[in-house]
Structure 1
Amino acid sequence: MYITITAQKLGGGYSQSSADFAEYLEKENQGLEQEDVEHFFNQYGDEIEAKEVVKEIDGNTAKLKKKEPKFYSITVSPSKYELRKLQNNSEDLKKYTRAIMNDYATSFNREINGKPITVDDIKYFAKIEHQRTFKGTDKQVKENQPYASKILQLKTDIRKIENHQLDGNVKKMKSQIIKLEAEAPHQQNGKRIVQGMKKSGNQSHIHIIVSRKDASNSVSLSPGSKHKASQVEMHGKIVKRGFDRDSFFTKAESTFDKTFGYKRNYAESYKSKKDFIKNPKLYFTTLLGLPGSEKAIAFKMLSKSGVPIMSIPTNQVQLALKTIRTLKRGVDVAIKSGSIGI
């Protein structure tokens, strides 16, 4: 499970409207039949139109300054292993979204009118998407780039030859292009992976747009707060503040496991990510200490994520810091790819 929470930052500042973001989330519906369209939804409603989302989010910004975000974006990307547990991608992910928004609400160390925050205090809208495209920052695109540059140059030269601006053998150049296309290290369905290409397989994920203000438009709720859970005196009163991201991520993972009966391996757990970041030696020691069947699954998951499994030591003595640093780079890539951890 890979979850991100980001402020609605666009360019150098904050847009005064959620319209661009809502329009961006509508892109996948273009050209689809009505029965295939994915609509926005919230805790209690389905088939909500984008214009209604914009109206509700933009109208819920009382007393927010121009330099403050008006909403936050939460992206929830289940791994391919987790997606296999779903019976119906769209309906199951809607069910899961509504469950983790309860977790989101209870991760605030805040009260409204003396009561703990509940999901009814959160104004949000969500949308399921089933496609992803390769970005320029993806490893596959970056490592294919030298081949892409050579292919582009050859195509440019061919056009110049055809326009009598350059001398050369077009047939030979076209053969070189075919060879370069085949030699590119990252392929999908027999084609070189390029930026903008749709990723194959089940790519279902969730986008959630959450208003910075509560549903009553009176209290500011920031999941970007630097305060995890604390109390401060304001105007002579003790006020609770903060949002516990660690708690939210842990609850979100647990909620998925309970909802869909998912047996989570250590290698894909949120705990493993924390161990990996804070104490790499503990991470690999725990990994190697797993029961045989669980260890085999863990290594398989890691290998699928690009970690050099052949370099993983086979006993505790071999857990040298140099080896750990080498493996750490591979696991770090796997975590960022969303294959393991949150």
Structure 2
Amino acid sequence: MYISITKQHLDTTFSQSCSDFVAYLEKENEGKQPELQEHFFDQHNDRIAPEKVIKEIDGNTAKLKKREPKFFALTINPSQRELKHINNDPNLLKQYVREVMKDYAASFHRDIPVSVDSIKYYAKLEYERIFKGFDREVKENQEYRAKIVKLENEIRKVERGEGSGNVKMMRKEIARLHTQIPHRIDGQVVAQGMKKPGLQTHIHIIVSRKDVTNRYSLSPGSKYRESESTLNGRTVKRGFNRDQFYEKAEKRFDTLFKYQRNYVESYSARKAFVQDPKIYFAHLLGLPTNERSAALKLMGAAGVHVPILNIPANKVEAALQAIKQFKKAIDIARSSSSIGI
């Protein structure tokens, strides 16, 4: 499970309205019959029209300055393992979103607790993803594609009489490189723009910066986690606890669907990896044998291949010295968490 929170883009190329974002979220409905289209939903309603989403979000911006975000975008990205656990059931995912938004509301630090009914939001399920330039498979394939393109350019120069070289050998090298490209889907080389295989369902949520009354600002982008300040002579609470939200959202899935989460799938593991990879790795090696084996399989599926698999727990310190050797590989855990682990 990976959840992201992003504020509205406000540079000169983006509109003040949420209309462009709503249009983007309608892309999977293009060309589909009405009964097959996916609709926006909120805490209590299904089948909400995109026009209503735009009207409600754009009309709920009282007293916000031009350079202040009017809405935030949440993306909930269950892993393929999590999706498989619930049979990729859209109704269960909608149920989960409605529960998660309760945790979202509860993560605001305010004098009066914020309830989910104070949050104006609209969510939408999507079932497809495409490979992007920063994906591991695309980047690793690109190294080979770049060499092939370079050789093809050299061949053209030779054929035009602008260069020298053995064209036959260069073509042979191109053929060899083609066979070594590591990532393919049904024989086709993975490239930017291709659809990703397997279960890719995820949820986009547009959340208004203002509460449903259009009076109070509720920003999950606050730099304050939980703090107090003085306003007009009185102490007020402010902030949003992201750690609490991410942890509760994860626990909510596990409790709701009786999911047995492995350590490497957890938010606490990703946090440990970012803050101190040694702690992350030590915890990984300290897991019971069956859990450690499952963790390594999950990491392998995500493209993180750990070369030391069977080191006894009492030799953790020796194992830690090996971290530098595969630090580049294990870095992938951060980005792959959105889909694989």
TM-score between the two structures when normalised by the length of structure 1: 0.88
Distance 1:287 1:156 in 2: 47
Q: Are 2:191 and 1:224 aligned?
A: no
Of 122-131 and 12-21, deviating more is: 12-21
**CA-CA distance at 1:149 after TM superposition:** 3.9
1:238 aligns with 2:235: yes
Alignment-mate amino acid for residue 93 of structure 2: L
- Residue in structure 2 matching 1:143, options 118, 140, 143: 140
Structure 1 CA distance, aligned partners of 2:115 and 2:340? 26
Task: Note the C-alpha offset of 1:332.
Answer: 2.8
Deviation at 1:141, TM superposition (A): 1.3
Task: Note the C-alpha offset of 1:285.
Answer: 2.1
CA distance in 1, matches of 2:150, 2:331: 34
Does the 8 Å contact 2:131/2:192 carry over to 1?
A: yes
Matched-pair contact (CA < 8 Å) for 1:136–1:195: yes
Distance 1:318 1:202, change over 3 A: same
Deviation at 1:298, TM superposition (A): 1.1
Assess, with a 3 A threshold, how the Cα gap between structure 1 residues 194 and 273 changes in structure 2: closer, same or farther.
same
Cα distance change on mapping 1:235 and 1:341 into 2, 3 Å: farther
Give the aligned partner of residue 43 of structure 2: 43
C-alpha distance in structure 1 between counterparts of 2:315 and 2:145, whole Å: 44
Residue matched to 1:85: 85
Q: CA deviation at 1:14?
A: 5.8
Stretch of structure 1 that moved more, 316-325 or 268-277: 316-325
In structure 2, the partner of 1:56 is 56
Q: Taking structure 1 as reference, are residues 156 and 274 closer, same or farther at Cα in structure 2, changes over 3 Å only?
A: closer
Partner AA of 1:183 in structure 2: Q
Mark the runs of 5 or more structure 2 residues left unpaired by the alignment: none
| Pair 1:319-2:300 in alignment | no
Q: Give the counterpart letter for 2:187 in structure 1.
A: G
Which residue does the alignment assign to 1:133?
Answer: 130
Per the alignment, do residues 291 and 157 of structure 1 end up closer, same or farther by CA in structure 2, a change over 3 Å counting? closer
Structure 1 residue aligned with 2:303: 306
- The residue number in structure 2 matching 1:213 is 210
Give the corresponding residue for 2:256: 259
The question of whether the paired residues in 1 share the 8 Å contact of 2:76 and 2:203 is answered with: yes
| Number of aligned positions between the proteins | 338
Describe the SS at the equivalent of 1:274: helix
Q: In 2 relative to 1, CA 174–18 (structure 1 residues): closer, same or farther, beyond 3 Å?
A: farther
**Counterpart Cα distance in 1 of 2:219 and 2:294:** 38
Q: 1:212-241: CA deviations, max 9, x gaps? A: 111111111110101111111100111110
1:20-49 deviations in whole A, cap 9, x for unaligned? 000111111112232321111110111111
Q: TM-score, normalised by structure 2?
A: 0.88
The percentage of aligned residue pairs carrying the same residue is: 51
- Contact preservation (8 Å) 1:311, 1:327: no
Closer/same/farther in 2, CA of residues 159 and 206 from structure 1, 3 Å limit: farther
Whichever residue aligns with residue 317 of structure 1, its letter is K
Question: Alpha-carbon deviations, 1:131-180, whole Å to 9, x = none?
Answer: 0000011121122224434555788899999xx9999xx99999887665
Query: What are the superposed Cα offsets for residues 77-117 of structure 1, whole Å, 9 maximum, x if unpaired?
Result: 01111111113531111111101000000000024xxx310
Q: Which residue of 1 aligns with 2:70?
A: 70
The DSSP-based 3-state class of the residue aligned with 1:103 is: helix
Q: Report 1:199-210 matches (<5 A).
A: 199-210=196-207
Q: Is the 8 A contact 1:14 1:66 kept in 2?
A: no
Distance 2:23 2:33 in 1: 18
Alpha carbons of structure 1 residues 334 and 116: separation in structure 2 relative to 1, 3 Å: same
**Does 1:330 find its partner at 2:338?**
no
Higher mean C-alpha deviation, range 171-180 or range 220-229: 171-180
**Residues 166-181 of structure 1: matches in 2 within 5 Å?**
180-181=177-178
Shift in Å, 1:7: 0.5
Between 305-314 and 282-291, the greater mean CA deviation after superposition: 305-314
Range with bigger deviation, 176-185 or 253-262: 176-185
Aligned residue for 1:132, secondary structure, equals coil
Secondary structure of 2:125's partner? strand
Distance 1:132 1:143 in 2: 19
Aligned alpha-carbon RMSD (Å)? 3.0
Q: Secondary structure at the match of 2:120?
A: strand
Q: Which amino acid aligns with 1:229?
A: E
Q: Which among 288, 292, 297 is matched to residue 291 of structure 1?
A: 288
Instruction: Name stretches of at least 5 consecutive residues in structure 1 with no aligned partner.
Output: none
